[in-house]
């Protein structure tokens, strides 16, 4: 079932002693496999798409059919499913995804100064919350195999919840996309102690 109240759902899950998995998919077959695995485990899941993968799958036609296909599969699934945009580049793209039926989006403002990132994130959060969707923010940068990171400052994490109005926050603690990571678990614990919501 497609989660109808994602913000409420995330708060409920956050209070439970388990992690909510999120998987990036770039085609219908991957989305189907993720949802089938969630059904087999009787577990909720976040199915997320990345803007570059959407562009590739759309053959230059806006967002293409993938979001519609994922929504249809999610609606039929007997477990809770959230359709999430991963690393949305800005307000316009996030709005397009929300209008296309995403019930969760991420704004990736990691390259902006903190105050600008908070303001942009809050703007997107206002729009998303008005459409009953959840929002993920980001603080810090994630390595892509180069070994360089801007780790999340624990003191900034509460600001993203308070002033950015996010429902969940992606934090940088040494993780690398697709690479061997050296996670700083002490930093993660410090961020978690100060944050006011789910961490990604």
| Run of H or E including 71 | helix 66-76
Beta-ladder partners of 85: 49, 105
d(CA 162, CA 146): 32
- Catalytic-labelled residue, pool 53, 86, 108, 167: 86
Residues present in the chain in total: 200
Active site residue 86: yes
Q: Which residues are annotated as catalytic?
A: 86
């Amino acid at each position: 079932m497609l989660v109808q109240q994602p913000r409420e759902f995330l708060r409920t899950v956050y209070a439970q002693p388990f992690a909510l998995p999120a998987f990036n998919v770039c085609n219908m077959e991957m989305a189907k496999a993720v949802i089938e695995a969630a059904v087999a485990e009787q577990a909720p899941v976040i199915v997320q798409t990345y803007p570059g993968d959407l562009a590739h799958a759309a053959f230059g036609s806006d967002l293409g059919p993938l979001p519609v296909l994922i929504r249809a599969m999610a609606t039929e699934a007997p477990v809770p499913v959230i359709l999430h945009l991963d690393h949305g580049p800005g307000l316009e793209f996030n709005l397009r995804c929300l209008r296309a039926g995403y019930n969760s989006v991420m704004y990736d403002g990691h390259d902006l100064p903190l105050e600008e990132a908070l303001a942009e994130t809050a703007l997107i959060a206002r729009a998303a919350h008005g459409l009953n969707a959840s929002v993920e923010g980001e603080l810090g940068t994630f390595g892509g195999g180069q070994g360089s990171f801007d780790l999340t400052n624990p003191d900034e994490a509460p600001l993203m919840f308070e002033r950015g109005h996010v429902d969940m926050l992606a934090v940088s603690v040494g993780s690398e996309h697709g690479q061997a990571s050296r996670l700083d678990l002490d930093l993660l614990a410090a961020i978690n102690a100060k944050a006011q919501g789910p961490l990604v």
